[in-house]
């Protein structure tokens, strides 16, 4: 440091004419001193220097932290639930990474005290896992543990039958529906392994109907042209105790034009609307009491150019058995169809309700090519919506066919 006399000398100089220049020199000298002081206290290199210092300060020798992994390295037939646990004694866990054979990282939770780590859910059956765990003791010394194990083989399996089919073009009401061939006990684990995405993007949620079926849909009907993908990553997922999935599959389908047809059971007519424009009104016959037609939004799930309708199969005994019903499209699991009808006179349509609960359109025996039923069949897609209104009946149950649109979004997203 400069002494006070030296500074005064520098400022005063030998005469008055040198005071300003001397002051500038002193200020410059003071600036250099300040910069040197700042540099001595740090800069961009401080943290690296501090890290080096800490490294130099860390005591030599092995870490007191000991990492333990269960199951043991090389174990086979490991249970998919509850068997994997990573712990540390004499220190705290700092990082735990668990990956499966496809290099996917398994989500898990580190305890607040750093003493243990557990996976968030069940592991997969017949899968190789690797564990990389690290811990530090109170002096900052690091220890690590690497391990590998294989989970139990699946003795029993389950499958999910999905709708729609890969590559199919469907109507705007078509949900993604998966029905399993075994009851699902671990619904959250199974649902986590099913992913439905859409382009353009929209919020899609799943809803369980019982323990063997889950449907996915957005809040409103799909927008026309939407591309939808279902990813089934069920291989090794435990659906019930000792029962594991085997499917690893992707399904893609496209939503076509938007068509919704509204049946007015009192007026006995159906209005067909496509892409927001009314394109046709068709006279119909609906269910006659006591076998009235369900109200509600129903989705076409099947199309049959010709099919047999036997009252015995739907609780009507021998009241009818028609072997060649033309242009039939299923609206419910319980037997509601919209179909061609050649046995009622043409004057019936638009004038009276005469069916056992189906919606009938005028047709010819064998299926005409220019009848109202033929036109509607030709212009309908699986996934189109047929909504019945003003019938003297209840609203159809959401699980009776692909008819979850009769459940509001709040109820749908509860499960």
The answer as to CATH 1.20.120.160 being correct for domain 66-151 is no
Burial class (CB in 10 A: 0-12, 13-18, 19+), 293: buried
Model confidence at 319: pLDDT above 80: no
Domains 66-151 and 259-410 in one fold: no
pLDDT tier at 8 (50, 70, 90 boundaries)?
very low
pLDDT at residue 368 in the model = 81
The two tokens of residue 380 are 């309908």
Decide if 331 contacts 391 (C-beta within 8 A). no
Distance between CA 358 and CA 270 in Å, rounded?
A: 13
- Give which of 132, 129, 109, 133 is closest to 119, Cα–Cα: 109
Mean pLDDT value of segment 347-358: 96
- 3 has a pLDDT exceeding 50: no
Vertex 409 angle, CA 406 and 415, to 5°: 100
Q: Is the pLDDT of residue 32 over 60?
A: no
Name the average pLDDT for the chain.
Answer: 88
Q: What is the CATH number of domain 259-410?
A: 2.40.440.10
Nearest-angstrom CA–CA distance, 224 and 242: 42
Contact 398, 296 (CB under 8 A): no
| 206 close to 194: Cβ distance less than 8 angstroms | yes
Hey, which bits of 57-186 come out as E strands?
Answer: 66-70, 75-78, 85-89, 92-100, 108-110, 116-119, 128-136, 142-151, 156-158, 160-163, 169-170, 176-180
pLDDT at position 310 is 83
Q: Which CATH number fits domain 157-256: 1.10.10.10, 1.10.40.60, 3.40.50.920, 2.60.40.3710?
A: 2.60.40.3710
Tens digit of each residue's pLDDT (9 = 90 or more) over 149-202: 999 998 899 999 999 999 999 999 999 999 999 999 999 999 999 999 999 999
- Which tokens go with 52? 């080096």
Quickly count: other Cβ atoms within 10 Å of residue 39's Cβ.
10
Q: How confident is the model at residue 10 (pLDDT cuts 50, 70, 90)?
A: very low
By the 10 Å C-beta count (0-12 exposed, 13-18 middle, 19+ buried), 115 is classed as middle
pLDDT at 52 over 60: no
Pairing of strands 296-299, 277-283: unpaired
């Amino acid at each position: 440091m400069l002494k006070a006399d030296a500074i005064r000398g520098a400022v005063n100089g030998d005469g008055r004419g040198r005071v300003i220049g001397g002051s500038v020199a002193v200020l410059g000298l003071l600036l250099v001193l300040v910069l040197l002081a700042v540099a001595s206290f740090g800069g961009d290199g401080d943290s690296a220097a501090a890290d080096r210092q800490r490294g130099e300060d860390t005591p030599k020798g092995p870490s007191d932290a000991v990492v333990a992994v269960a199951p043991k390295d090389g174990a086979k037939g490991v249970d998919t639930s509850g068997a994997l646990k990573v712990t540390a004694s004499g220190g705290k866990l700092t990082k735990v990474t668990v990956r499966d054979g496809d290099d996917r990282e398994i989500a898990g939770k580190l305890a607040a005290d750093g003493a243990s780590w557990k996976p968030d859910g069940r592991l997969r059956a017949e899968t190789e896992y690797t564990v990389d765990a690290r811990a530090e003791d109170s002096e900052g010394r690091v220890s690590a543990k690497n391990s590998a194990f294989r989970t139990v083989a699946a003795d029993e399996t389950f499958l999910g039958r999905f709708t729609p089919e890969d590559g199919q073009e469907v109507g705007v009401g078509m949900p993604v529906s998966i029905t399993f061939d075994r009851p699902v006990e671990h619904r959250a684990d199974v649902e986590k392994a099913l992913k439905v995405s859409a382009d353009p993007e929209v919020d899609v949620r799943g809803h369980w109907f019982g323990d063997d079926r889950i449907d996915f849909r957005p809040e409103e009907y799909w927008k026309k042209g939407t591309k939808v993908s279902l990813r089934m990553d069920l291989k090794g997922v435990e659906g019930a105790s000792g029962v594991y999935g085997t499917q690893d599959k992707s399904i893609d389908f496209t939503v076509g034009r938007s068509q919704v047809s509204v049946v007015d059971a009192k007026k006995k007519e159906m209005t067909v609307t496509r892409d927001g424009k009314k394109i046709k009104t068709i006279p119909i016959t609906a269910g006659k009491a006591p076998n009235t037609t369900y109200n509600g939004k129903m989705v076409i799930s099947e199309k049959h150019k010709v099919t047999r309708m036997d009252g015995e199969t739907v609780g009507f005994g021998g009241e009818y058995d028609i072997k060649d019903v033309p242009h039939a499209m299923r609206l419910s699991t319980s037997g509601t169809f919209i179909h061609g009808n050649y046995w009622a006179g043409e004057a019936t349509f638009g004038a009276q309700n005469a069916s056992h609960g189906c919606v009938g359109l005028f047709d010819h025996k064998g299926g005409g090519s220019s009848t109202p039923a033929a036109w509607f069949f030709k212009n309908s897609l699986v996934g189109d919506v047929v909504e019945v209104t003003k019938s003297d009946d209840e609203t159809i149950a959401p699980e009776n066919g692909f008819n979850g649109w009769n459940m509001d979004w709040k109820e749908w997203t509860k499960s």
